[in-house]
């Protein structure tokens, strides 16, 4: 197998606050291959966005990477100077956020923004860059692109604006796209279109995609593999079919029992009793132990390590064949 586009190794992210150090990401590892969509799912506050921010080198203060490594196609990127990281963000990693207006400047015509981005990264003439921009708008499904290119962001609907953002992300042919809840703000019917567009583009361009969402329905229909996050760890990761059909971690089992389809505007909240702990109150042992239907003594004292089980990697003592040392409890 060729080298992954993104490789995250034992990543730790902390927020240093007056009340102490909060561990938002507590040792996660995953890869994304060329052309692959990795879905990252989990309840609000699980650490999905912080993981994406760490990869693009934009963790909000007072956050910091406290350990681990991030590699982009063989280049280590977690320890670069801000200027070097800015260049990588512009050129090698594309970003799509929930609100398209995070990425679009309302004061400029969409064409100006596309053309400027293209010209920053290529030596195309203005006319050639405009032609390329129209091609990209066509590719992302904007009707009458040779007219719409001269429109302002506010003249586009939410779904069309997100298509423009995707075109903007594609301008530089990035190796990796981080899409953080890209459809959450859109109508349900539009959500499915944007998701299938992303999936198709990833395949056509060989882009690796990290698709962050709290919506299992989106993951089931889009991702090749899925990482289930809970309180700063990856509870389970594996091929999407296997994890959806046969979830191993009790938390994934709860999530999979709550898959809404894209066709319904169902309440997307997970039906697992209890709530995810705040960062300041993560229990010792397994962070899921207060809510886990399968909890046993070991879960209260020992943090589960990730265990390979068939195609899954799961952080749960249920799957550990090592005997539990009861003396550790005493």
Ligand X SMILES: Nc1ncnc2c1ncn2[C@@H]1O[C@H](COP(=O)(O)OP(=O)(O)O)[C@@H](O)[C@H]1O
Positions touching ligand X (CB under 6 A) are 15, 24, 42, 44-50, 60, 63, 279
Cβ-proximal residues to 76 (8 Å cutoff; 6+ apart), any chain: 69, 70
Whole-number minimum distance, CB 319 to ligand X, in Å?
24
Contact in structure between 288 and 229 (CB atoms under 8 Å): no
Residue 47's binding partner among ligand X, Mg ion, none (Cβ under 5 to 8 angstroms by kind) is: ligand X
Q: What is the nearest approach in angstroms of ligand X to the Cβ of residue 15?
A: 4
Shortest distance, CB of residue 162 to ligand X, whole angstroms? 18
- Helix segments in 17-125, DSSP class H: 48-55, 82-91, 110-121
> Of residues 24, 26, 46, 49, which one binds Mg ion by CB under 5 A?
49
Whole-number minimum distance, CB 47 to ligand X, in Å?
A: 4
Q: Which of ligand X, Mg ion, none does 209 bind, CB closer than 5 to 8 A by kind? A: none
Which two tokens mark 51?
């993981």
DSSP 3-state of 74: coil
Residue 24 interacts, among ligand X, Mg ion, none and using kind-specific CB cut-offs from 5 to 8 Å, with ligand X
Considering CB distances under 5 to 8 angstroms, the limit depending on partner class, which of ligand X, Mg ion, none binds residue 227? Answer: none
Residue 322 touches which of ligand X, Mg ion, none (Cβ within 5-8 Å per kind): none
Pairwise CA distance, residues 195 & 270, whole Å: 21
Tell me whether residue 17 or residue 105 sits nearer to ligand X (CB atom). 17
- Which residue, 156 or 288, is less far from ligand X as judged by CB? 288
- Minimum distance between the CB of residue 39 and ligand X, rounded to whole angstroms? 13
Of 40 and 115, the one with the shorter C-beta distance to ligand X is 40
- Site map (CB under 5 A) of Mg ion, residues 7-46, x = contact: ----------------------------------------
CB within 8 A of 239, min separation 6: which ones? 224, 225, 226, 311
Give the number of residues in contact with Mg ion, rule: CB under 5 A: 2
**Cβ at position 100, least distance to Mg ion in Å:** 16
Helix (H) or strand (E) holding 12: strand 6-17
Task: List strand residue ranges (DSSP E) for 44-194, in order.
Answer: 63-72, 75-76, 93-96, 176-180
Give, in order, the Cα–Cα distances in Å from 328 to each of 306, 323, 325. 20, 12, 6
- End-to-end distance of the chain based on CA atoms, in angstroms? 46
Q: How many Cα atoms are found within 13 Å in the side-chain-facing hemisphere of 317?
A: 21
Whole-number Cα distances in Å, 39 to 157, 199, 219, 225: 26, 11, 6, 6
Nearer to ligand X, 15 or 30 (CB): 15
Shortest distance (Å) from residue 49 CB to Mg ion = 3
> CB 88 → ligand X: shortest distance, Å?
21
Cβ nearer to ligand X, comparing 24 with 198: 24
- DSSP single-letter state for residue 276: P
63 interacts with, out of Mg ion, ligand X, none, CB within 5 to 8 A per kind: ligand X
Which of residues 44 and 157 has its CB atom nearest to ligand X in the complex? Answer: 44
User: CA-to-CA distance for 295 and 292, rounded, in angstroms?
Assistant: 5
| Residue 27 binds which entry of ligand X, Mg ion, none, CB below 5-8 Å type-dependent | none
- The residues that touch Mg ion, with contacts defined as CB under 5 A, are 48-49
């Amino acid at each position: 197998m060729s080298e992954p586009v993104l490789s995250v190794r034992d990543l730790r992210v902390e927020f240093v606050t007056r009340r102490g150090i909060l561990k938002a990401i507590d040792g996660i590892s995953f890869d994304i291959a060329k052309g692959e969509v990795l879905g990252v799912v989990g309840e609000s506050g699980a650490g999905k966005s912080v993981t994406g921010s760490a990869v693009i080198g934009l963790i909000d203060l007072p956050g910091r990477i406290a350990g681990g490594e991030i590699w982009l196609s063989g280049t280590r990127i977690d320890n670069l100077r801000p200027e070097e990281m800015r260049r990588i963000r512009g050129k090698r990693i594309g970003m799509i956020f929930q609100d398209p207006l995070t990425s679009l400047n309302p004061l400029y015509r969409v064409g100006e923004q596309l053309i400027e981005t293209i010209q920053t990264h290529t030596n195309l003439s203005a006319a050639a860059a405009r032609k390329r921009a129209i091609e990209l708008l066509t590719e992302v499904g904007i009707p009458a692109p040779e007219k719409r290119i001269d429109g302002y962001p506010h003249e586009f609907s939410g779904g069309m604006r997100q298509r423009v953002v995707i075109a903007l992300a594609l301008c530089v042919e990035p190796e990796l796209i981080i899409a953080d809840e890209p459809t959450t703000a859109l109508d349900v019917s539009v959500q499915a279109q944007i998701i299938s567009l992303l999936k198709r583009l990833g395949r056509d361009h060989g882009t690796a995609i990290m698709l962050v969402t709290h919506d299992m329905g989106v993951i089931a229909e889009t991702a090749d593999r899925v990482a289930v996050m809970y309180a700063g760890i990856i509870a389970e990761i594996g091929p999407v079919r296997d994890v959806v059909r046969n979830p191993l971690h009790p938390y994934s089992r709860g999530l999979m029992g709550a898959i809404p389809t894209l066709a319904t505007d169902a309440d997307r909240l997970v039906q697992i009793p209890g709530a995810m702990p705040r960062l300041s109150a993560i229990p010792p042992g397994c962070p899921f132990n207060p809510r886990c239907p399968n909890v046993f003594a070991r879960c209260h004292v020992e943090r589960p390590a990730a265990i390979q089980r068939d195609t899954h990697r799961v952080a749960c003592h249920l799957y550990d064949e090592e005997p539990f040392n009861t003396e550790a409890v005493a």
